[in-house]
Structure 1
Amino acid sequence: MKVYLAGPEVFFENRDAIMSAKTELTRRYGFTPTVWTGEKYDPSSSPFDIGLQISAFNENVMRESDLIIANLTPYRGISADVGTAYELGFMVASGKPAFGYSNDGRLFAERVTADYYKGAVARDLRGFIRGADGLLVENNDMGDNLMLDGGIRHMGGVFIRRSVAPERMFDDLGAFEECLAAARARLLGASAA
């Protein structure tokens, strides 16, 4: 089975090392990894056209994949990388099994309250938590936006959350490996990795 490895790793300086480790683990668990490698676009195109080429290539790779494992560790903010969220939604809408993980073990509401609002929240008259700007803090005991958690759960997957040291936030692969184990158990049976 082909697994689409989604996440913001493509932006990292050490992306080759991380993706090599993820690829090796994926194979060890009995899956074939599929991921964009960056060689498939025309470098003479405009930046906008390169973006369209990359988007189209990624969508084709997702169509050819059987499932997704998404790195939903907060990236450039309080939530998952927006491109990864799109890819997760694309795969769920395609009816494919979905698994996700985050190396920030806090619930979404905790991150919104602590990281975005810096604790400046209060309960309204109905008991809902709101930020100083009046906006509702989504508080569903989920790891990220309810649509990400919900999509994974509705497709029979799991969303693994771990708390790792800040300096290991994007290269600790423990939760990723837990997703591989869960995917193997669900989709390939209990064969040893």
Structure 2
Amino acid sequence: MKIYLAGPDVFRPDALAWAEQARALLQRHGHHALIPLDNTETTAAGIYRANIALIAEADAVIANLNPFRGCEPDSGTAFEVGYAIASKKTVIGYLDDDRPQIEKLAGSVDAQGMSIENFGLPINLMLGIPCRIVRGSLTDALALLDGD
């Protein structure tokens, strides 16, 4: 399978090393990794188009849905997941902490007084319902995908 790897990992200081490790992991499982860092685009519009093309080429998407720059997943990753779902792709998300969101955020309202969803999901329902969620890492998400 061709698997698109969505997530904020492209912003890591060791992003290129991470990408090579991820590519090797998928290859050991008989898959081909499609990673946003693979494209050569340098403009915002070019990167957007290239990533959309990679998602279109993919058979499935594995998404790092861990909090990024706050308590929610990366907004670009959330878009990519939505695009993949709309394109009828299988999407598996992984999280370090799969406790219900209301438990992680310790209450029914946040610091701004806004309500916190109480559906027993570890992330917002718009990601938690259409994605298959696994607690763990890329390796765990890949194992779930391979278990289909």
Query: Are 1:130 and 2:95 counterparts?
Result: no
Q: Confirm or deny: 8 A CA contact 1:30 1:184 kept in the other structure.
A: no
Partner residue in 1 for 2:16: 16
Looking at structure 2, the residues matched to 9 and 133 of structure 1 have their Cα atoms a distance apart, in angstroms, of: 29
Q: Which 4+ runs in 1 deviate beyond 4 A?
A: none
> In percent, how many aligned pairs have the same letter?
33
Query: Are 1:143 and 2:122 counterparts?
Result: yes
Unaligned runs of 5+ in 2: none
Distance 1:112 1:28, change over 3 A: same
Shift of 1:68: 0.2
Secondary structure, aligned partner of 1:138: coil
CA deviation map 1:164-192 (0-9, x unaligned): xxxxxxxxxxx211111111121xxxxxx
Looking at structure 2, the residues matched to 131 and 14 of structure 1 have their Cα atoms a distance apart, in angstroms, of: 33
Partner residue in 1 for 2:133: 159
Q: Confirm or deny: 8 A CA contact 1:3 1:31 kept in the other structure.
A: yes
Q: State the superposition RMSD in angstroms.
A: 1.7
Partner residue in 1 for 2:33: 33
Shift of 1:40: 1.9
Partner residue in 2 for 1:177: 139
TM-score (norm 1): 0.71
CA deviation map 1:137-157 (0-9, x unaligned): 1111112111111111xxxxx
Report the AA paired with residue 179 of structure 1: A
Look at both structures and tell me which one has the larger radius of gyration over its CA atoms.
1
Looking at structure 1, the residues matched to 126 and 12 of structure 2 have their Cα atoms a distance apart, in angstroms, of: 26
Shift of 1:26: 0.9
Shift of 1:38: 5.7
Partner residue in 2 for 1:62: 55
Looking at structure 2, the residues matched to 26 and 38 of structure 1 have their Cα atoms a distance apart, in angstroms, of: 15
Shift of 1:19: 1.4
Shift of 1:74: 0.7
Unaligned runs of 5+ in 1: 44-49, 114-120, 122-128, 153-157, 163-174, 187-193
Looking at structure 1, the residues matched to 68 and 110 of structure 2 have their Cα atoms a distance apart, in angstroms, of: 21
CA deviation map 1:12-62 (0-9, x unaligned): 101112111111111111211101226522x5xxxxxx1111011100111
TM-score (norm 2): 0.91
Q: Confirm or deny: 8 A CA contact 1:79 1:108 kept in the other structure.
A: no
Q: Confirm or deny: 8 A CA contact 1:78 1:111 kept in the other structure.
A: no
